[in-house]
């Protein structure tokens, strides 16, 4: 962040950031002296604001004498000045209400978590389910769709389901597929999908002569089913909340944020950044090295079950985001989802 700010500069920067978060209007020196007990004259505040602008923490919009924070200003605020609030009791009670998850599939739970994040934060909620390759295998099923085409259904211990269509080149009967399914489901549970792939590859390479027809067909079919990447699942909720923000009222800004929220791969790349880290991560606009969220901030945190499956959830909103409120929401929700994964697995 360069040269450290003195207490007076920090106090005024903090006041401008928090006032702008609340009002979305440029903040002037007279407004600061009225709203905050700094015992400073407007002239003194103006001088400090001019210094902060020269250092790159503030900028003056053309239409106003007031200032607004830059990305650098927000970054300094988050890293050095932010006071994170306790999660309000009503939010905690809403998140801890397990009845909304009762009887739901893991996919439905992930969608519900996205809606919870969005509804409580009033921004857009994002949830990336645990990468299927890292989840623990529970069962596989093959369903005959048509001649030469099969639907493969993978189910993890945490209840995540993935589907994939393959063309094995052999027209299996449904009875043959049931036998293959039973054989695989007896041999493979308890391993991650990655471990399953490795085991199948070894057995196909080393035990060809000892395999009977059913075993050979089962291993070859599952090997084909597990080739390539299995698509990641990302759930987005509350897109309309972004369009309610004054920052995104112009057609260009609206189109840019919609493209980002509709791009599954961009969202995966964004959420991946926080998956390797522990705790809440904050990515602010272009300061985050992700040009696609310029003008936005992402607050994200990983969640995981005791069997190692790791996913990520978060909230994306304008840089003028209420960080002190959203950070505890994301942190608490990640802990909640981790408990749900442990309970389901």
Strands 161-166 and 137-146: unpaired
What is the pLDDT, as a whole number, of residue 287? Answer: 59
Beta bridge partners of 283: 298
Q: Which helix (H) or strand (E) holds 164?
A: strand 161-166
Token representation of residue 11: 């106090």
CB 308 within 8 A of CB 136: yes
Give the whole-number percent of the chain exceeding pLDDT 90: 32
pLDDT confidence of 27, banded at 50, 70, 90? very high
Average confidence score pLDDT of the chain? 84
- Residue 329, Cα to own-chain centre: how many angstroms? 13
Strands 124-128 and 310-318: antiparallel
**Residue 344 clears pLDDT 90, i.e. is over it:** no
User: What pLDDT sits at residue 288?
Assistant: 57
What's the CA gap between 284 and 296, in Å, rounded?
6
d(CA 252, CA 255): 5
pLDDT band at 173 (very low <50, low <70, confident <90, very high): confident
**Closest-CA residue to 235 (of 118, 91, 330, 102):** 118
pLDDT reading at 59 higher than 90: yes
Q: Given this model, what pLDDT does residue 259 score? A: 79
Determine the pLDDT at residue 213.
Answer: 80
Per-residue model confidence as pLDDT tens digits over 180-222: 889 888 888 888 877 888 888 887 776 666 667 888 888 888 8
Lowest mean pLDDT among 55-69, 144-158, 227-241: 227-241
101 DSSP 8-state letter: G
Identify whether the C-beta of residue 135 lies closer than 8 Å to the C-beta of residue 160. Answer: yes
Query: What pLDDT is attached to residue 49?
Result: 95
The lowest-confidence range among 80-84, 162-166, 258-262, 328-332 is: 258-262
**pLDDT mean over 138-166:** 84
Which pLDDT band, with edges at 50, 70 and 90, does 125 fall under? very high
Instruction: Convert the pLDDT of each residue in 257-316 to its tens digit.
Output: 887 787 777 787 778 776 666 789 998 887 555 666 778 899 999 988 766 667 899 999
How many angstroms separate the CA atoms of 215 and 89, rounded?
Answer: 56
**pLDDT given at position 207:** 63
Mean pLDDT of 99-113: 81
> How distant is the alpha carbon of residue 176 from its chain centre?
41
Alpha-helical runs (H) found in 64-212: 71-76, 89-95, 106-121, 174-187, 193-206
Stronger pLDDT, 345 or 266, i.e. the higher one = 266
Q: Quick check: 118 pLDDT over 60?
A: yes
Residue 231: its pLDDT value, please?
A: 63
pLDDT interval class at 252 (50, 70, 90): confident
Structural domains in the chain plus CATH codes: 7-81 (1.10.10.10), 89-130+232-344 (3.30.450.40), 133-225 (3.30.390.10)
Residue 160 tokens read as 């995540």
């Amino acid at each position: 962040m360069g040269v450290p700010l003195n207490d007076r500069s920090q106090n005024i920067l903090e006041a401008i950031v928090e006032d702008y978060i609340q009002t979305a209007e440029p903040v002037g020196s007279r407004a600061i002296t009225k709203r905050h007990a700094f015992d400073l004259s407007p002239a003194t505040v103006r001088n400090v604001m001019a210094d902060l602008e020269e250092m790159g923490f503030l900028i003056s919009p053309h239409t106003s004498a007031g200032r607004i924070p830059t990305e650098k200003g927000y970054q300094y605020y988050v890293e050095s000045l932010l006071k994170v609030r306790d999660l309000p009791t009503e939010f905690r009670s809403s998140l801890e209400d397990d009845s909304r998850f009762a009887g739901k599939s893991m996919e439905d739970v992930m969608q519900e978590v996205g809606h919870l994040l969005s509804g409580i934060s009033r921004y857009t909620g994002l949830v990336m389910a645990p990468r299927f390759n890292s989840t623990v295998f529970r069962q596989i099923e093959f369903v005959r769709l048509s001649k030469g085409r099969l639907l493969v259904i993978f189910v993890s211990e945490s209840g995540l389901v993935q589907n994939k269509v393959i063309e094995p080149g052999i027209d299996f009967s449904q009875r043959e597929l049931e036998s293959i399914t039973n054989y695989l489901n007896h041999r493979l549970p308890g391993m991650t999908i990655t471990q399953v792939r490795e085991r199948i590859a070894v057995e196909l390479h080393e035990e060809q002569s000892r395999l009977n027809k059913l075993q050979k067909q089962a291993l070859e079919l599952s090997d084909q089913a597990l080739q390539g990447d299995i698509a990641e699942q990302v759930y987005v909720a509350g897109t309309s909340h972004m369009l309610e923000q004054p920052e995104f009222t112009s057609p260009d800004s609206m189109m840019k944020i919609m493209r980002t929220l509709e791009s599954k791969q961009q969202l995966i790349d964004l959420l991946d950044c926080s998956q390797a880290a522990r705790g809440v991560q904050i990515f602010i606009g272009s300061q985050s090295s992700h040009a696609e969220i310029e003008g936005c901030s992402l607050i994200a945190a990983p969640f995981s079950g005791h069997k190692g499956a790791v996913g990520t959830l978060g909230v994306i909103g304008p840089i003028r985001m209420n960080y002190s409120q959203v950070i505890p929401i994301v942190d608490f929700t990640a802990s909640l989802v981790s408990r749900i994964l442990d309970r389901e697995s």
